[in-house]
Each structure stands twice: as structure tokens, then as C-alpha cells.
Chains A and B, each alone.
Chain A
């Protein structure tokens, strides 16, 4: 069975400081992992995805994530937070043979000026 756990429901950072959003996954087989972002009153936008290629994945808007199989983690990072990064972030997993995505409960990122 697949699942993801987002370890923080809310993260608050100051503008210009690093961002770390944590995600652990559980998957029986080789997973595909995604990070989506949802801005207020908007749909879900794909930030980046891992599908068994390079373990360090670069996404849009300066975000990246590292797949660590030994730690079953897929944490999202950004070196310097911007005010426009304030949003809800979802870690998502699927795997070969699965027909849908399994979402984490989300992490709300607040960026303080």
C-alpha cells in the first residue's frame, strides 16, 4: 500500500531564508513521487516529480527535492523563500500498477516579510 506523511502541518519562515518541507512515503514497490503546490483559491500545480531517474529533482520556482530510499523521504527545499511561495504544499505518491495519486495532508507555508 502507498501513503505519504507530511511531518509538519504548518511551516513559517522569514523571507530570504531556506525552506524545508518534510515528507516520508510508504510504498511496496518503486514509487513515483510528486510535490504539488496550491495557492489560495487556485488549483494544484506540479512543482516537481521523481520517477526513478536522478535522485535530486529540480522543479519550478527554485524548488528541489531529494529522493532518499534508505530514509523513505522526499523532502522539498528552496534556498531562499519568497513571499509568493506562501501556499499549501502536498507530497504525493503513486506506484507502478496504481491508478491514482495518494496525497499527504499538506503543509501550509507562511513567509514572513
Chain B
């Protein structure tokens, strides 16, 4: 089945620890994204990547880091510098810039809780 897979579904982190959220897609999409969702708020863009080995900061990149070494993978690291990391994290992919079909495909999300 083609799709986008996030893991784990639930993640608990102690304060001061870095954690990495996994995102893999087999849709052959060029573009990948990370969003954060908090209760009562929309999705906010953390980082996005339009091509392998390149990525850009979104609206709330502070305290996060990403890499895009492979087309199918876009892991997100939540660092200890992120002051309020408890949230629902969503990864998405889309065909990419200039492609006619521009819908985004989302994973099922990772719920991160700081304990």
C-alpha cells in the first residue's frame, strides 16, 4: 500500500531529552512537511523540504531540527530547546512544486508528551 507512515504513535519524553519522530513515505513525493497541532489551534508548519538534501524553516522552527537524506524519509528531532513540546505532530507529503496535483497526504500523527 502506498502511503505515509509515522512512528511511534505515542511518545513520552523526559524534560531535557531530545527525541526523534520518524516519517516515511512510499508515494515518490518530492515534498515533505512537519506540522504541529495543539488543541484549539490549526496546524502550524515546523519545517518543510521540497527536495532531497534541502529543507526550509516553517513558522515555528525554533527548538526543532530535521534532515532529508533520502527522498522517502524526513525525520523530526524535538530538542531540549523546545519549551513546550507536548503536542500532536503530523507529517505530510505532496508531489512537489509545479506538479498539477497539489494535495497533501498526511500520516496518522505522533502524540508527544513531556513527563
The answer to whether A and B come from one shared complex is no
The chain A residues found within 8 Å of chain B, CB to CB, are none
The chain B residues found within 8 Å of chain A, CB to CB, are none
